[in-house]
Chains A and B, each alone.
Chain A
Amino acid sequence: MPTPAAATADLAAVARSIRRRVFEHVMRNGGGYLSQACSSAEIFAALYGRILRLGPSQAPMRPVPFPGAPSAANPDYVSGGAYNGPHAPEYDRFIFSPAHYALVLYTALIEFGRLAEDALEQFNRDGSTVEMIGAEHSPGVETTTGSLAQAISQAGGIALGRRLKGEPGRVWVMMSDGEFQEGQVWEAVQALVHHRLDHLAVIADVNGQQCDGAMDDVMTVGSLAAKLHAFGARVVEVDGHDVDALVAAGEFRPDGRPLFVLARTDPARGVPLMRERAPNLHYLRFASDEERARYQAAFDAFDEEA
């Protein structure tokens, strides 16, 4: 069931709340993946609030402890995909690729009433499924994608399988732009185009950042739009902080080509203090008590604005 925030259709407010929750958690834990929330909060708000056609969550509001790795001998393994609702022909599937965005995903699930607020207490705790990077037992996670660029291929197979079964539901993949450095992504793009999987759509957080810093310093990828066009894909470029634009991009009519929504974003959005760290934005660690105090002040100000 949607939370009141979503019911008021104020997805921008939801995005702000995602950012605030992640910021709060990062302050409480003395660091974390904050810039990913800054850049992708509107993307997650738009996906869960409007774009994805999902049924109600099939999973407990409070996640179960880690039930052991999947195996033929382990009937207790659970799918984190159950938080995105049942698998049914008419529903979309959500495949989450940049697994280190897990905290953003969890907060989005909280915002939309699919996960209890206090589930974050289990984040990165021993024995928990609410893992820092996670796998397919983690809430909202259907495939194991911490080794980046594997989601798009798995989603391609899912999309092909759904087409074979005649299912009308779409397959949405959320990616980060750094993943496009992996050759596998381009293997996948050519396969999606070749097999005309036009009910598969990727929404990419194009924040220009990766672990070592700015992508342009680490490995230039050039124009993703031009490259994707050259492969024969369908490309839409939007302001990734404009929820209306994101939602509009999500309302597409299949035309024989896989869709790539390139959402240009700011990795310091909402927390301008982060710009001082650029290009070292991937994981926020406080170098000193003084720096922590400045971020605490920024968080307090963020809270007051909200």
Chain B
Amino acid sequence: MERVQRPHVENFIRWAADKPKVVVVSADLTNSCEVGKWRDTYPDRFFSLGMAEQNLMGFAAGLAREGFEPYVHTFAVFIYRRPYDQLAMSIAYPNLPVRLMAFLPGITTPGGVTHQAIEDVAIMRATPNMTVLETGDATEVESVLDVAHAVDGPVYVRFLRGVVPRLFPRSEPMELGRARVLHEGDDVTVLTAGITTEEAMRAVPALADAGVRATHLHVSTHKPFDDPTVLDALRRARHGVVTLENHTIVGGLGSAVAELMAENAIGKPLVRLGLRDTYAHGASQAYLMRAYGLDALALVRGVERVTGRDTGLSEDDLAQVRVEAVHSLAKAEAL
């Protein structure tokens, strides 16, 4: 599997070249959010607003009212947590085209509880007018810009930085409201988003080898959550459904799936994996994913709960599974 170094850095510069209304507002985390070179390339379109996020939201709103398309770059916690009232009243209520590039989703940072955005999807889902996206690989980091750009209203994007895997080919960009079908099977349906997709891509083939066939969907649009592909996959699951998210299990992907199942009378077991109504702490991503049950092994155990079958799979079995870039099955002809 290809691992891409800082895919946002050059891609965003290229993408913005012919979009003069695209501006960046930053809050003292410019290089941390991979827009330092963007600033140096387009100094007239980059605005430093310092460590002052309440004001930053208002400035972004005002720029949007004047016809610009502001891309706010800062850590997720400093977008949805600290200045929420400003986000809701200055940006979301008037449905302004502000793009909120939210770095360090969930436990992707050793920065600890203050830097870990673990309830952002819940809060952003509950915010009227907000579109909520999450990137899961380099292709999505690159193509989410077109998706966000096309939305008439504010967009919140859980953004990956640094070394990012390329799980999906460049020829299959992110599409709004369209889950990727990565594996098909009728026993269980597994839904993942963001960094948990790579985990599931290790677990699902191992499960198949152990005789449990899963449909695996990668979700990149948390809201709106009305993809018929998702509904079909929930309906076909013989034993039940497992969600795995880099987020608290309250209000995020697992809750969205539960809502969809309840509203469509899909009466099957649902296991929601993720942070179990707890904060995390500062440590490595691999450690935290193991400690809080966000990894491939946690998913195997979740599938075992739903199917009532012991697969006999252990960590060693999963470690041997290679993750290759996959062509999504979510093509029109495959549906």
Contact, CB under 8 Å: B62 / A71: no
Known: A147-B85, A160-B47, A161-B65. A153 touches B59 (CB 8 A): yes
Contact, CB under 8 Å: A194 / B50: yes
Chain A contact-residue range equals 20 to 34
B282 in contact (CB, < 8 A): no
Q: How far is the CA of A267 from the CA of B172 in the complex (A)?
A: 64
B60 in contact (CB, < 8 A): yes
Q: How far is the CA of A161 from the CA of B25 in the complex (A)?
A: 12
B55 in contact (CB, < 8 A): yes
B54 in contact (CB, < 8 A): yes
Q: How far is the CA of A159 from the CA of B61 in the complex (A)?
A: 11
Contact, CB under 8 Å: A188 / B55: yes
A253 in contact (CB, < 8 A): no
B94 in contact (CB, < 8 A): yes
Contact, CB under 8 Å: B129 / A162: no
Known: A164-B68, A165-B66, A191-B50. A144 touches B94 (CB 8 A): yes
A227 in contact (CB, < 8 A): no
Main SS of chain A's interface residues? helix
**Chain A hits for B58, CB < 8 A:** 150-157, 184, 188
Q: How far is the CA of A150 from the CA of B95 in the complex (A)?
A: 16
Contact, CB under 8 Å: B95 / A70: yes
Known: A70-B95, A135-B93, A191-B49. A154 touches B62 (CB 8 A): yes
Contact, CB under 8 Å: A191 / B52: yes
**Chain B hits for A191, CB < 8 A:** 49-50, 52, 55, 59
Q: Which A103-144 residues sit within 8 Å CB-CB of chain B?
A: 135-136, 143-144
**Chain A hits for B66, CB < 8 A:** 157-158, 160-162, 164-165
Contact, CB under 8 Å: A184 / B54: yes
Q: How far is the CA of A71 from the CA of B85 in the complex (A)?
A: 18
Interface core residue of B23, B55, B86, B95 (most chain A CB under 10 Å) = B55
A72 in contact (CB, < 8 A): yes
Contact, CB under 8 Å: A153 / B62: yes
B63 in contact (CB, < 8 A): yes
Which residue of chain A lies nearest to B83 when distances are taken between CB atoms in the complex?
A184
Contact, CB under 8 Å: B95 / A187: no
Pairs A–B under 8 Å by Cβ, sample size 20: A72-B151, A143-B61, A143-B90, A146-B89, A147-B89, A150-B85, A153-B59, A154-B58, A156-B55, A156-B62, A157-B62, A157-B63, A158-B62, A160-B47, A164-B66, A187-B54, A187-B55, A191-B55, A194-B48, A194-B50
Closest 4 A-B residue pairs measured CB to CB? A157-B62, A153-B58, A161-B66, A187-B55
